[in-house]
Amino acid sequence: MLCQECGKRPATLHFTKIVNGEKNEFHICETCARERGEMLPGTSGGFSIHSLLSGLLDFETAGKGMASSVKTPQSLRCEECGMTYTQFSKIGRFGCSSCYKYFGDRLDPLFKRVHGNTVHVGKVPKRSGSRIQLKRQIDDLKLELQRRIQQEEFEEAAQLRDRIRTLEKEMAGQ
Amino acid sequence: MPNLRFTEKALSEWMRGTASDSDIVISSRVRIARNLQHMPFPLLATRQQSEEVLNRLAQVAETPNLKSLGTFYTVKLDEIEPIDKRVLVEKHLISPSLAGESQNGAVMISEDESVSIMINEEDHLRIQCLYPGFQVREAWEKATAIDDLFEAEVDYAFDDKRGYLTSCPTNVGTGLRASVMMHLPALVMTQQINRILSAVSQVGLTVRGIYGEGSEAIGNLFQISNQITLGQTEYEIIDNLHSVVLQIIEHEKNARARLMNDSRLRITDRIKRSYGILSYAEVMDSKEAGQRLSDVRLGIDLGIVQGPSIPVMNELNVMTQPGFLQKKYGHDMNSEERDIYRARLIRETLAKA
């Protein structure tokens, strides 16, 4: 097969691009590929993670028939930077940190798909984060408390309950 | 006059060091993405806002705490030539996107080039630590320490539920991307690589070419990194990568041993041919250079090639990139010219080694 760009050299690079179910095949030779890719390494091809993401997001908004209950209102937008959900789903990037707040739980399916999770469990900032650390500690203790109660270890459970109360007071005081 | 010391030499100081498993793992890298509160992400920031971000973060670099980590040199991307940007990308000191499309983009690079702090990339702040060999945990320790220093001075965009907020939803949560660059010629030769790489993607990791997203694997070099940043702790992310890489190292070692056992003559012949061609060829395109340099690197690891050292091979990997070639010989070149200069550079370097 000859290169579809120059029509002279044999095509050695083959790739398929599928956009909205429309399939396009490309067959080009090394030299033409290199000429096209004269830009910086890593930026060639123009197919970035963002375009992949917007594919995922489009699915969210385009899923009219099947999931009308989660249909995003056209008006949903970030009050801080003005980015609309529709824009976000095209670009695949947020405009500012408040977008997370304004788009809220509507982002859960996206995070679920990308990360398999929706809630952060890692590092928290030291200065502003002590409240979060406390909250995580309390959540852990509550789980432990449930376990103890189920196993009828009431003495330990009572101790845990007291510790949880102390921590909760501490959190309320902050 | 901007500081251009980083684009003169191909070999970063940190590359000289050797570390554990540095025959198979070439380098380990950790990158943390952070943003400032109440400031639009670089995507939407006005020129004035991005300048404000740059000033805020550059101020932190002046605090005694960061200085205690060593000297940092600030390079503003607006002030340097495209060719120098390209060299910084080829040395992995900045990302292609910082070089290509940033507004008020800057990078603070440590003296030994193991730390680079990018400002106004896709996120306001990206802290990168790059170590030789298999030291992904060490790189994380360093990066998180630098993160703490910044956090003491500026307010990060952080949310109880989503963690550190980033411009791209693929980085949210920890903002952490940890990666190792592996040289896996034996797994490629024995055609086990695809099986292994697809297994890797099953456990939340991803494989890319050496210049990251969208670049192809040249010279049997593969970059393996975490895909998930939300819902796992940094420790889990690093640990997961660490244990998968250990397994890949094991597979590569076994494949090398089997190759040497079953087809020693063919492998030795292939390596020496490549060494010969690199030593004498007059024209060398980048793809062939990548493959032949990979063969010779394998030859050094297996004790078949004496002479050039692994740091020399690391240096050649960077020097034979288009940007560095043009920088070194001081003029623009088309791809045919580059192939000629590339061959010359390799010949001369190997003759000295």
User: Residues 74-113, chain B: which have Cβ within 8 Å of A?
Assistant: 85-86, 89-90, 95-97, 99-100
Total Cβ atoms within 10 A of residue B201: 12
pTM: 0.79
Query: Rounded to the nearest 5°, which phi and psi values hold at B64?
Result: -55, -35
Query: Rounded to the nearest 5°, which phi and psi values hold at B156?
Result: -80, 150
B37 to chain A: which residues are within 8 Å by CB?
97
CA proximity to A134, closest of A96, A161, A174: A174
- The H or E element that residue A9 is part of is none
The owner of tokens 């660490």 is B242
Q: Which residues of B are annotated as a binding site for ATP?
A: 27-31, 92, 126, 177-181, 208-213
**Residues in a beta bridge with B209:** B212
Which of B41, B95, B156 comes nearest A94 by C-beta? B41
State residue B209's pLDDT score.
66
Q: Report the complex ipTM.
A: 0.85
Minimal C-alpha gap between B215 and chain A (Å): 5
Distance, in Å, from the CA atom of B274 to the CA atom of B264, rounded to the nearest integer, reads: 15
- Is-contact B282 B210, C-beta < 8 A? no
Q: Is B228 on the interface with A (CB under 8 A)?
A: yes
Max CA pair span of chain A: 83
Q: Is B43 on the interface with A (CB under 8 A)?
A: yes
What are the residue ranges of helices labelled H in chain B?
13-16, 47-61, 64-67, 82-90, 96-101, 136-151, 185-189, 193-202, 234-280, 286-301, 310-319, 322-329, 335-352
pLDDT digits 0-9 by tens, B203-225: 889 887 665 555 556 789 999 99
Specify the higher pLDDT residue, B188 or A70: B188
Distance, in Å, from the CA atom of B70 to the CA atom of B93, rounded to the nearest integer, reads: 17
Would you write out chain B's pLDDT as a tens digit for each of its 353 residues? 345 677 777 777 777 666 677 789 999 999 999 999 999 999 999 999 999 999 999 888 888 877 778 888 899 999 999 999 999 998 889 998 899 888 999 999 998 899 999 999 999 999 999 998 999 999 999 999 999 999 988 999 999 899 999 999 999 999 999 999 999 999 999 988 888 888 888 888 988 766 555 555 678 999 999 999 999 999 999 999 999 999 999 999 999 999 999 999 999 999 999 999 999 999 999 889 999 999 999 999 999 999 898 889 988 988 899 999 998 898 889 999 999 999 999 999 999 87
Which of A119, A123, A131, A139 to probe by mutation at the B interface, max B CB count within 10 Å? A123
Query: Rounded to the nearest 5°, which phi and psi values hold at B106?
Result: -150, 165
| Chain-chain contact of A35 with B335 (C-beta, under 8 angstroms) | yes
DSSP tag of B118: E
Reduce the DSSP state of residue B105 to 3 states and report it.
Answer: coil
Total Cβ atoms within 10 A of residue B308: 22
A97 to chain B: which residues are within 8 Å by CB?
35, 37-38, 41, 157, 159, 165
